[in-house]
Structure 1
Amino acid sequence: MRNRHLELHKLDSIGWLRAAVLGANDGIVSTSSLVLGVAAAHATHQAILIAGVAGLVAGAMSMATGEYVSVQSQADTEQAALEKERVELHENPQGEHKELTDIYVARGLNQSLAKQVAEGLMRHDALAAHARDELGLTDAMSAKPLQAALASAFSFAVGAALPMMVVLLAPHESLILYTVVGSLVFLAFLGGLAAKVGGASIRKGVVRVVFWSALSMAAATAIGSMFGTAG
């Protein structure tokens, strides 16, 4: 039982780690692409820094807003399902008892034991039993909008700060090269970390994230260069 408990905690940590890695990955790709586009348009170093910082703040706020709205919608759906279940328990407790019994029978218990388990759990906390075993809702897995929004914004900002450090330290004449190389190194590390956490091939994870990120950076650089030349 103790090992199972530790395993659940490990799976929960993996979920948070993967979300953090993905948020940081987005921060690196979007900010470095923005910086490269502005740099390719022959902007000054100060203008590039301002654009990058603006992109970091806007991106973090956008991630937070999107995550909050999404998770809040999930929370509203969960609350509606719980309220419906509460009404059904009040209006038809016997039917809900049979429903819970059938769930336990389907999971492998015999009819007599399933009935006893359902009775015991409903006597203790009927709504919690149905929320967990019928709806699949638990306190650990329930939607937490504010927590999700803050985590998403923070991971994006951390990722975006990495190429911004490169921009801050790199000489202006080599800014594009330093930004591309530095960002791809960061992304390769995160891609490998995400693959390792997910149990996938690290090499494939690195190649995948580096390829698509390089494509995004190349597109932004090309557009910036085109408009810079046109200006």
Structure 2
Amino acid sequence: MADQGLEGSQPVDLQKHPSGIVPTLQNIVSTVNLDCKLDLKTIALQARNAEYNPKASFIYLLIREPKTTALIFASGKMVCTGAKSEQQSKLAARKYARIIQKLGFPAKFKDFKIQNIVGSCDVKFPIRLEGLAYSHGAFSSYEPELFPGLIYRMKQPKIVLLIFVSGKIVLTGAKAPVTTPIVDGGIFDGTTAPAMAMVARDGDVEHEGYRLVIFRAEAKRKWRRQGC
């Protein structure tokens, strides 16, 4: 069974995504060890799209495809950010390593690792943050005078969600191994953040191992009956 997802025009398989919502990946942060010492000033003078501040301990490198930014340190450590998928992040990191190699440094490509995955979604209805904080106080932090969103720390999968009254949700802190699908059936499988947001308006939610599973149509019917 498929339905129209809220995050785009592609149909959503409701068997895989009971909520009907599939978060969109916004940023992948990865790290690589180039395994050699680097002269940042030399790289800044010879590489294209390089930015270097002598007061900083790193240099910026940018490439257009995939559109990413790398922070490269004199120690040979590199951080790659801006990719929209794990594959893009790895491809970009390899391109940066080749750039360094072409500048005469014996750079290698070691210890590639995804450090953070950031995603977002919109459940398309207002969320009662006070109710969510009350019913899930062990996992929630809500201080509207300091930050407008509710911070929800899931145990499994171990991710942090920033939930806003507008219905917008940001997911961060995920670290998916290469063998784990990131969206379909994996960390962001549509039964975590969106379903958790629905708890704020609907009390009849099944909680299994910190994974909140709810069906969108049923939630809407109860929402109307309660007159909320």
Shorter-chain TM-score range? under 0.3
TM, length-normalised to structure 1: 0.22
Which has the larger share of helix?
A: 1
Larger Rg, first or second structure (1 or 2) = 1
Which of structures 1 and 2 has the larger relative contact order (alpha carbons within 8 angstroms, sep 6+)? Answer: 1
TM, length-normalised to structure 2: 0.22
